[in-house]
């Protein structure tokens, strides 16, 4: 069953594999959510995971930083295997940033405090340095002047950009995006996607769960289509959009592009 | 074919045995990691040290004989005492030959309650009428006199569980209209009525129930015209009603504030007057939201009626003293308290489960 | 003037909503005035027939009854004025300094200025208090004291029970809540049933249970449970040794204060270093060193600061030491157990109310579980927990009045005795309500300040 995936993004050549998932199986109680997942992601690769809701996409990327435990299989992130060891999990999480659908900013902290919370408490960075860093990232996502406001005072799009800045401030090697635009009003989606696009251009390794197919076509190297807990199709982005091999991915694409 | 052969539908598999089933459950909830196992052992020890002596006292060494001499030979509980005094716990010193009257009253209430639990009957008009009539019937039955032709049993004969339940139900029924008015007053913008309602609610919520009971039993008679006497039970009832109307009003206010402005505007647009709007549109919605907190309020009343013992009524809690001072069963306080606690707990727990059930069933308030 | 008509001018006032509201309110006021006047008249008549004079003059009368547990009441004397004056002056000066510094540099004051203003706001009043030591006299109630003094003693006992009950029920409630949140199924169910058992039983029943059943199981005085004289437990209560200050006591206490200040300075230094270099500094051991070392030094220099006064069996009861009466014990234990069930629910639901996403976001930032709790969950949970917790604290204050049923002499119980003796029902009930109302208003005032400070900023 398990077929070694050849690397589809030719320009990545043989850059090192940073995420290696083999034979991953996960259950919620009796429900089999992830079935025999095999996935290698190389440095600087941009992977977009798509699929109908309930197909296990979010669960998959949440196992990568161990927000979800898995029962079978092996996940190695940046040469660090994910086990029950708390220290190991923390080491992995330090290198993996995550952006959530619901932003999950800390409402009791200012924007600035949100962004410096990781560097200060986890990376033991001097406060001054962390603040400088935070300001530079806030500038990058275009909300430098809001630093002293609270999350509740910002729009959804702005909050999501702060969330990206907060994840970036940890200077991660890999970024996970869990449907970052699904909770946003249409006019705010673009500002978030622009930030993500810029991030991709700078060579960040990214894994995105998203339904924004325009973004995927433009940015992704590799497309992963999931359904019912398994990877149905794994293909270079061009191939996926022009000639999907699987019936299911073809139907999904038709639905999502022609709605 | 391309190099990548897509996997066909992978069938669902059972999870590994270590994560589900009894083993998985035990491991996850009781044993792993090691400190969890320690907690389990400590918990087991705690349960054992609490339950074992009680079990020994209440079951192993207990006697159920009606004869106090037999009971004295057992080191454990003398449940014969409860068997012997059972009617006293239920009705206090209510005359023995008249005890069938509270019993029938109880039956009426039980039948009404169980009818109301059946959803299809709940909406019928007849049931509502019966509910309105029932307090009068119950009172006539228990008090007697008048047209019933039964001998009068004065309130100083009332006691036990009967008194506790009657006090709490009547206090709730009496507090309800007052609290609706208070809540409406507090949410209104009338310059005199609003501060008055706020002052009343805050004053009452700021003081202990016991001071209100003292007020009702010692100060209230001073306020009445000379020669006019209020019954002791009625005075306690005044205190409890005053106390709970304030708490109830705060709950109802919460419900009133939970109703969107659109409802008021829609009612205005239909040309309704203030009272029509309040009664037809606003209150039914507000009251439905606050049913669970109101049930919790009722639990509060039920528990706090135990304070009436301090101003000289013999409610369920005070019956413990009354029955154990009986030379036959002198000093059997433990049995009495366990029995009383059982009743309070069953009533309160059932009600609180009911309110939690209502809360879960209720669609979350849409804004 | 303009010709335009105001809309109200057209309708007769009884048809306009405002007019109706006013009419309704006037009727209400009229009704209440009538009720109040007739009640007042009735009361006058009733009091006359019973031969009771009204007014608060009776408070000065000699009480003549015994109070089982007497708390010292600090009574203000002449020097108190100076103390208050220096307090106000000190606070004003430190405020001025703070404001001056802020307007000068725009930055908050540094530690040098902070200690100066601390001296003014705390040190100066303390110094005055020391100089005018006689400004407060601790008075103890005796049978020949006045009713007023008796009420004060009762209030002191109420506050004592309330404070101890609040602290104990919070700690117990926190433990129960943590137990309920624990992944251990057995433990979480024990805690769940503890909560269900306690909150569904009347508090008075629980007080009776502790007082008449648990405490009666204790042995009598001759057969006391005795832990080497340190802790003696019997039907008469719980006896502990008490501390008697000796010559070196002043020095000893002063070094403890110095040690606390030193720890505070250490902590500030650690925070500064953390901010500047990002390196967390462990201060636990140096702090413990100060806290133990300095007083130990004082002990060596100034001799033993305290001697212990052990309770000794004399006649029918223990003398000396500190005794906790069974009434007090039952009241505190009963209230603590009852309220801890509610507190546990409040704490648990507060922690659970912080959304799962917050926890996940903090974990995704690689925070460890302690940091997740300290930095993200607790600050948010506190906003949810504190308001209902204060009303539970208030409930302790109010429920402590149930002491009247087991005979602990707190405020309501003492008032009840006075009521029986003097028959001044209206006044006593008025005093009760007034005092409790003041306590509640004070607490809710503090609550509102807290709420406005921590309220989440929304759009």
Q: Chains A, C: CB contacts under 8 A, how many?
A: 92
The most confident of C140-149, C259-268, C336-345, by mean pLDDT = C336-345
Nearest Cα to Cα of residue C297 among C243, C246, C254: C254
A122 vs C366: CB contact, 8 Å cut-off?
yes
Would you state the torsion angle of the CA atoms of residues A243, A247, A248, A253, taken in this order, to the nearest 10 degrees? Answer: 40
A128 vs C456: CB contact, 8 Å cut-off?
no
Q: Which residues contact residue C234 at a Cβ distance below 8 angstroms, ignoring those fewer than 6 apart? A: C218, C219, C220, C221, C223, C224, C225
Q: What is the CB neighbour count within 10 angstroms for residue C230? A: 13
pLDDT in tens, A148-168: 999 999 999 999 999 999 999
> Which CA distances in Å does B348 have to B39, B115, B117, B165, B353?
30, 21, 18, 12, 8
Average confidence score pLDDT of chain C? 83
For residue B183, the model assigns a pLDDT of: 93
For residue B45, the model assigns a pLDDT of: 93
B7 vs A233: CB contact, 8 Å cut-off?
no
Interface mutation target, options A6, A28, A35, chain B, most CBs of B under 10 Å: A35
Task: List helix spans (H) across B56-124.
Answer: 68-72, 79-91, 100-117, 119-122
Is the model's pLDDT at A13 over the cut of 70? Answer: no
Cβ pair A156, A101 in contact under 8 A:
no
Domain ranges for chain C, please list them.
70-140, 150-203+326-459
- Name the band, by pLDDT with cuts 50, 70 and 90, for residue A4: very low
- End-to-end CA separation in angstroms for chain A: 34
pLDDT in tens, C283-292: 788 888 888 8
Is the model's pLDDT at C208 over the cut of 90? Answer: yes
For residue A76, the model assigns a pLDDT of: 93
Residues 313-342 of B with CB under 8 A from C: 317, 320, 333-334, 337, 340-341
Residues A109-126, mean pLDDT to the nearest whole number? 91
In chain C, which residues have their Cβ closer than 8 Å to the Cβ of A65?
A: 363-364
For residue C230, the model assigns a pLDDT of: 78
Backbone φ and ψ for C408, nearest 5 degrees, come out as -85, 130
For residue C9, the model assigns a pLDDT of: 57
Q: At what angle do helices A186-201 and A156-168 cross, to 10 degrees?
A: 20
Interface mutation target, options A32, A37, A40, A244, chain B, most CBs of B under 10 Å: A32
- Cα(A243)–Cα(A249) distance, integer angstroms: 10
For the question of an ipTM over 0.85, the answer is yes
Q: Which fold has domain C150-203+326-459?
A: MetI-like fold (1.10.3720)
pLDDT in tens, C275-334: 777 777 777 888 888 888 888 888 888 777 788 878 777 777 777 777 788 899 899 999
CATH 2.170.260.10 fits B160-361, yes or no: no
List residues of chain A with CB under 8 Å from any CB of chain B: 1, 3, 5-6, 25, 27, 29-30, 32, 35-36, 71-72, 228-235, 245-246
Query: Which of A223-232, B352-361, C244-253 is predicted with the least confidence, judged by mean pLDDT?
Result: C244-253
State which residues of chain B have pLDDT below 50: 1-5, 365-367
- Cα(B13)–Cα(A75) distance, integer angstroms: 20
CB nearest B349 (choices: C190, C196, C202): C196
Which helix (H) or strand (E) element contains residue C439?
A: helix C425-454
Cβ pair B240, B174 in contact under 8 A:
no
User: CA nearest A7 in B: which residue?
Assistant: B4
CB nearest C202 (choices: B203, B225, B306): B306
Query: Which of C139-148, C333-342, C429-438 is predicted with the least confidence, judged by mean pLDDT?
Result: C139-148
Task: List helix spans (H) across chain B.
Answer: 21-26, 34-55, 68-72, 79-91, 100-117, 119-122, 125-143, 160-187, 193-206, 209-214, 220-223, 232-257, 261-269, 274-276, 283-289, 291-304, 316-324, 333-361
Cβ pair A200, A121 in contact under 8 A:
no
User: CA nearest B16 in A: which residue?
Assistant: A71
- Cα(B236)–Cα(B315) distance, integer angstroms: 11
> Which CA distances in Å does B29 have to A27, B34, B47?
17, 12, 17
- Cα(C350)–Cα(C378) distance, integer angstroms: 9
- Name the band, by pLDDT with cuts 50, 70 and 90, for residue A2: very low
Residues 87-126 of B with CB under 8 A from C: none
> Which CA distances in Å does B305 have to A89, A134, B163, B209, B310?
56, 60, 9, 10, 10
Nearest Cα to Cα of residue C367 among B176, B100, A98: A98
- CA B303 to chain CA centroid, Å, is 7
- Name the band, by pLDDT with cuts 50, 70 and 90, for residue C458: low
Omega before residue B33 within 30° of 0, cis: yes
| pTM reported for the whole predicted model | 0.85
Structure tokens at C107: 């930055």
Residue whose pair of structure tokens reads 């007019």 in the numeric block: C19
Using the 8-state DSSP alphabet, how is residue C62 labeled? B
- Cβ of C357 under 8 Å from any chain A Cβ? yes
Which chains does chain A touch, 3 or more C-beta pairs < 8 A? B, C
- b/e burial code for range C251-263 (CB count within 10 A of at least 16 → b): bbeebbeebeebb
- Cα(C30)–Cα(C208) distance, integer angstroms: 46
- Cα(B34)–Cα(B89) distance, integer angstroms: 50
Cβ pair B320, B336 in contact under 8 A:
yes
Which chains does chain C touch, 3 or more C-beta pairs < 8 A? A, B
- Cα(B277)–Cα(B236) distance, integer angstroms: 35
For residue A1, the model assigns a pLDDT of: 38
- Cβ of B5 under 8 Å from any chain A Cβ? yes
- Cα(C333)–Cα(C116) distance, integer angstroms: 44
- Cβ of C200 under 8 Å from any chain B Cβ? yes
């Amino acid at each position: 069953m398990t077929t070694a995936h050849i690397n589809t993004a030719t320009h990545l050549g043989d850059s090192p594999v940073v995420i290696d998932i083999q034979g991953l199986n996960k259950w919620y109680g009796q429900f089999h959510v992830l079935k025999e997942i095999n996935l290698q992601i190389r440095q600087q690769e941009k992977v977009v995971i798509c699929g109908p809701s309930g197909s296990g996409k979010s669960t998959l990327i949440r196992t990568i930083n161990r927000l979800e435990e898995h029962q079978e299989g092996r996940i190695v992130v940046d040469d660090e295997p994910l086990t029950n060891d708390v220290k190991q999990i923390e080491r992995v999480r330090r290198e993996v940033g995550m952006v959530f659908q619901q932003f999950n900013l800390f409402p009791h902290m200012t924007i600035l405090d949100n962004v410096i919370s990781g560097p200060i408490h986890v990376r033991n960075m001097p406060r001054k340095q962390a603040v400088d860093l935070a300001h530079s990232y806030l500038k990058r996502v275009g909300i430098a002047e809001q630093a002293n406001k609270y999350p509740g005072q910002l729009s959804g799009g702005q909050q999501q950009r702060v969330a990206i800045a907060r994840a970036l401030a940890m200077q991660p090697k890999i970024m996970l995006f869990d449907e970052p635009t699904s909770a946003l009003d249409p006019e705010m989606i673009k500002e978030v996607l622009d930030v993500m696009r810029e991030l991709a251009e700078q060579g960040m390794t990214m894994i995105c769960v998203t339904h924004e197919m325009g973004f995927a076509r433009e940015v992704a190297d590799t497309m992963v289509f999931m359904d019912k807990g398994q990877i149905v199709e794994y293909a270079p982005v061009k191939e996926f959009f022009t000639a999907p091999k699987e019936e299911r991915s073809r139907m999904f694409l038709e639905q999502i592009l022609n709605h | 074919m391309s190099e990548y052969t897509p996997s066909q539908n992978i069938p669902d598999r059972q999870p590994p045995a270590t994560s589900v089933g009894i083993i998985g459950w035990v491991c996850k909830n009781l044993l792993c990691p090691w400190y969890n196992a320690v907690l389990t052992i400590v918990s087991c020890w705690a349960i054992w040290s609490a339950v074992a002596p009680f079990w020994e006292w209440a079951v192993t060494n207990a006697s159920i004989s009606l004869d106090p001499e037999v009971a004295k030979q057992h080191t454990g509980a003398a449940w014969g005492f409860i068997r012997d005094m059972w009617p006293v716990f239920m009705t206090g010193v209510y005359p023995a030959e008249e005890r069938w009257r509270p019993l029938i009253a109880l039956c009426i209430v039980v039948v009404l309650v169980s009818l109301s639990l059946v959803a299809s009957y709940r909406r019928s008009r007849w049931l509502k009428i019966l509910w309105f009539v029932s307090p009068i019937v119950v009172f006539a039955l228990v008090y007697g006199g008048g047209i019933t032709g039964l001998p009068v049993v004065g309130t100083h004969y009332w006691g036990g569980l009967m008194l506790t339940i009657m006090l709490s139900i009547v206090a709730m029924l009496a507090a309800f209209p007052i609290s609706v008015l208070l809540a409406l007053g507090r949410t209104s913008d009338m310059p005199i009525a609003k501060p008055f309602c706020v002052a009343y609610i805050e004053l009452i919520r700021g003081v202990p129930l016991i001071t209100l009971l003292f007020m009702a039993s010692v100060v209230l008679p001073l306020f009445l015209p000379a020669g006019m006497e209020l019954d002791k039970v009625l005075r306690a009832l005044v205190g409890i009603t005053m106390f709970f109307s304030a708490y109830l009003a705060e709950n109802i206010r919460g419900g009133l504030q939970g109703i969107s402005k659109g409802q008021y505007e829609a009612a205005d647009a239909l040309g309704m007057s203030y009272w029509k709007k309040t009664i037809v549109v606003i209150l039914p919605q507000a009251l439905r939201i606050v049913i669970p907190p109101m049930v919790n309020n009722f639990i509060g009343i039920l528990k706090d009626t135990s304070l009436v013992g301090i101003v000289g009524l013999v409610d369920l809690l005070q019956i413990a003293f009354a029955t154990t001072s009986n030379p036959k069963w002198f000093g059997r306080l433990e049995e009495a308290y366990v029995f009383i606690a059982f009743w309070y707990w069953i009533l309160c727990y059932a009600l609180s489960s009911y309110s939690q059930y209502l809360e879960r069933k209720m669609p979350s308030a849409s804004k | 003037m303009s010709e335009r008509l105001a809309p109200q001018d057209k309708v007769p006032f009884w048809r306009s909503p405002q007019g109706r509201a006013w009419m309704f309110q006037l009727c209400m006021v009229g009704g209440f005035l009538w009720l109040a006047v007739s009640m007042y008249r009735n009361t006058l008549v009733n009091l006359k027939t019973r031969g009771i004079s009204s007014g608060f003059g009776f408070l000065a009368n000699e009480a003549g009854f015994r109070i089982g547990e007497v708390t010292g009441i600090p009574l203000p004397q002449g020097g108190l004025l100076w103390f208050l004056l220096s307090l106000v002056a000190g606070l004003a000066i430190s405020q001025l300094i703070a404001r001056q510094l802020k307007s000068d540099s725009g930055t908050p004051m540094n530690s040098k200025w902070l200690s100066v203003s601390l001296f003014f706001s705390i040190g100066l009043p303390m110094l005055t208090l020391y100089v005018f030591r006689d400004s407060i006299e601790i008075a103890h109630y005796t049978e020949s004291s006045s009713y007023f003094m008796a009420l004060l003693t009762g209030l002191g006992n109420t506050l004592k029970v309330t404070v101890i009950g609040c602290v104990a029920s919070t700690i117990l409630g926190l433990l129960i809540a943590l137990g309920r949140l624990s992944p251990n199924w057995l433990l979480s169910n024990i805690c769940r049933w503890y909560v269900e058992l306690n909150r569904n039983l009347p508090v008075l029943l629980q007080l009776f249970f502790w007082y008449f059943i648990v405490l009666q199981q204790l042995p009598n005085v001759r057969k006391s449970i005795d832990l080497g004289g340190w802790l003696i437990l019997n039907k008469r209560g719980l006896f502990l040794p008490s501390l008697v200050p000796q010559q070196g006591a002043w020095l000893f206490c002063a070094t403890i204060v110095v040690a606390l200040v030193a720890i505070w300075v250490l902590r500030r230094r650690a925070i500064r270093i953390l901010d500047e270099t990002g390196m967390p500094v462990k201060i636990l051991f140096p702090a413990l060193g100060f806290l133990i070392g300095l007083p130990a030094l004082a002990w060596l220099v100034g001799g033993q600061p305290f001697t212990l006064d052990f309770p000794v069996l004399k006649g029918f009861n223990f003398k000396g030491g500190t005794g906790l009466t069974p009434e007090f014990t039952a009241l505190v234990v009963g209230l603590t157990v009852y309220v801890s069930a509610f507190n546990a629910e409040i704490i648990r639901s507060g922690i659970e109310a912080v959304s799962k996403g917050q926890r996940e976001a903090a974990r995704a930032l690689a925070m460890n579980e302690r940091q997740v709790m300290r930095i993200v969950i607790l600050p948010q949970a506190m906003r949810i927990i504190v308001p209902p917790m204060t009303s539970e604290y208030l409930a302790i204050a109010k429920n402590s009045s149930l002491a009247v049923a087991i005979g602990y002499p707190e405020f309501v119980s003492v008032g009840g005795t006075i009521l029986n003796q003097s028959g001044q029902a209206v006044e006593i009930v008025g005093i009760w309500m007034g005092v409790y109302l003041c306590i509640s208003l004070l607490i809710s005032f503090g609550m509102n300040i807290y709420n406005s400070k921590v309220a989440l900023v929304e759009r």
